[in-house]
Amino acid sequence: MKSKWIWLVACVAAAGAYLFENNPGTLTVLICVVFLPLIGMLPLLFAPKLQMELDISTSAEKDQPVQCKLRISNQRMIPVLGLNVTARCRNWRTGSAQEQKASVSIMPKQEKCLEFSLHSPYCGLLRITMLAESCGDLFGLQRRKVSCSVKKDLTVLPTLFEPQIRFSEQALVIPDSDIYSSEKPGSDPGEIFDIREYIPGDAIRQIHWKLSQKCDKTMIREFGLQVVNDMLVLLETADADSPEETDAITEVFASLCQTLANTGILFQAGWRETKTDALRLQTVSNPGEFPDLLSRLLRLPPKKDGSVAERFTEQFRQCNFSHVVIVGSRIPTGVQDLYNNNRITILLPRRDGVSDGFQPDGTYVLQFDRKSYDADLSVLEV
């Protein structure tokens, strides 16, 4: 708009000079001032044909700069002047976004390369969109819309920690399970956990008589502990106060799931689906299944209404898991409906008005600081 006003003033000035002087010189100036910009607009009569390619890595660390190279080639024999390019970066997990702009001119059948430096302070899947929006004429008087874009995804990995897992004495077992714990002994004689020397108080039925004769000392068998898929880890994606809080919750949830998988604990992870908002459960039985879980986790958008506990009770009659762990920003609504003579633990960022320990509804709350959650949650009981 400013350029148009300048051109209009220049035209009026040139016309005035010609009226007062009325000579070939002022006529030439008037013709140039009026018609040269109009001639410069001729390329805008033809829609530019552009091709864009984006080079970028597929993953990055938090707060680390990522270099993006955007190659734009002009496929026509007409120059593209003042091409405005916008680089948009949106984090699917936190909802945060950033934007950069650049301008470039490309001669006929030429190629230009633009470089952008992007970074994200939060983990999540970044959708990067390079959009050519408009081009202009030689004098910047008129612009034409351009429809050309390219998209790529970049995974910003979370910073994970490994809490120490402690087993609760109330851990549930069932007699017909064929899965046994590698962490502690139990009472099932069908599986041997370890063989050790007798200690006063050990049951006589555990004595390994043949081995005791060979070793010339009393040896006993420690029986195996049957375990089942009795642990549920839920992620609450609603009611976070800020992207920083969403980032902390995501890393706590991912760290807990990774540690459970590495420990060999069979569990199910759950969250609200992106499109349907229904509860999705994913079984994790070994470390090899964690990357797929993490990939799904990093593309979950923040939610506004409802809670993951409400979605669970809508889809299932009752909660048959012996231990439910919920990671979120607040105590979710409907969490009391998950109680079925089981344990419910809620991990959430520290906030006013909420105290650690058992709550009136029977849930156990453990709070963590957003900047030191690896220390606050260094030991977790399952």
Q: Please check the confidence at residue 180 and state whether its pLDDT lies above 80.
A: no
170 assigned to some structural domain: no
Distance CA 310, CA 305 (A): 10
177 assigned to some structural domain: no
Considering the domain architecture, whether residues 239 and 307 belong to the same structural domain is answered as yes
Q: How confident is the model at residue 227 (pLDDT cuts 50, 70, 90)?
A: very low
The boundaries of the domain holding residue 201 are: 185-227
Q: Residue 295: helix, strand or coil by DSSP?
A: helix
Considering the domain architecture, whether residues 254 and 300 belong to the same structural domain is answered as yes
Across 111-129, average pLDDT? 92
Distance CA 225, CA 193 (A): 8
Considering the domain architecture, whether residues 128 and 258 belong to the same structural domain is answered as no
pTM above 0.85, yes or no: no
DSSP 8-state assignment for residue 205: G
pLDDT digits (tens, 9 = 90+) for 20-45: 877 888 878 777 877 777 777 777 88
Q: Which residues contact 49 (CB under 8 A, 6 or more apart)?
A: 74, 75, 76
Considering the domain architecture, whether residues 89 and 7 belong to the same structural domain is answered as no
Considering the domain architecture, whether residues 265 and 356 belong to the same structural domain is answered as yes
169 assigned to some structural domain: no
Of 126-135, 222-231, 302-311, 362-371, where does mean pLDDT reach its minimum?
Answer: 222-231
What's the chain's average pLDDT? 85
pLDDT digits (tens, 9 = 90+) for 50-108: 999 999 988 999 988 989 999 999 999 989 989 999 999 999 999 999 999 999 999 99
Distance CA 153, CA 9 (A): 48
Q: How confident is the model at residue 173 (pLDDT cuts 50, 70, 90)?
A: very low
Token duo for residue 188: 């099932």
Helices then strands, each counted (H, E), the chain: 7, 21
Q: What is the pLDDT of residue 185?
A: 60
Give the CATH number for residue 332: 3.40.50
Across 127-156, average pLDDT? 89
The answer to whether the beta carbons of residues 198 and 247 sit under 8 Å apart is no
Q: Please check the confidence at residue 176 and state whether its pLDDT lies above 50.
A: no
Q: What is the pLDDT of residue 281?
A: 94
167 assigned to some structural domain: no
| Number of domains composing the chain | 4
Looking at per-residue pLDDT, the higher value among 346 and 265 belongs to: 346
pLDDT digits (tens, 9 = 90+) for 288-311: 999 999 999 999 998 888 899 999
Sort 210 into a burial class: Cβ within 10 Å, 0-12 / 13-18 / 19+.
exposed
Q: Please check the confidence at residue 228 and state whether its pLDDT lies above 80.
A: no
Across 191-213, average pLDDT? 79
173 assigned to some structural domain: no
